[in-house]
Structure 1
């Protein structure tokens, strides 16, 4: 658990990816500025792209665990 808390950029990317896959708006980003916001938005963009390309849930989960 502590390891996740220390790696905030990766965690932000994964949460952004999930938001993108779920079709949520990028305006819902919980971060105001900085590297963490950029990582969240990068994850969101990649998640939206994967959603539009038709990746199923299994492929999306594999992608997140391999990052």
Structure 2
């Protein structure tokens, strides 16, 4: 059975979340289109907030899988 691909916006958010959660810079955003960059930065922001609030790695993985 074929698996459905993720929407590009969800993928950009998830990649940004991981980078933010790892504490890396938002200047690492690889996207140039406005919508993908917006989604990536939103993910980055949420990842940074979760890291600052003390989430552990497993909580962040679970959060991304529930999106």
Would you call these one fold, judging by a TM-score over 0.5?
Answer: yes
Unaligned runs of 5+ in 2: none
SS at match of 1:61: helix
Pairwise CA RMSD of aligned residues? 1.2
Give the equivalent residue in structure 1 for 2:5: 3
CA separation in 2, counterparts of 1:11 and 1:32? 15
How many residues are matched? Answer: 65
Gaps of 5+ in 1: none
Question: Segments of 4+ in structure 1 off by > 3 A?
Answer: none
Which structure shows the higher helix fraction? 1
Task: With the length of structure 1 as denominator, give the TM-score of the two structures.
Answer: 0.90
Q: Cα distance, 1:33 vs. partner?
A: 3.2
Which residue is equivalent to 1:18? Answer: 18
Q: TM-score, normalised by structure 2?
A: 0.90
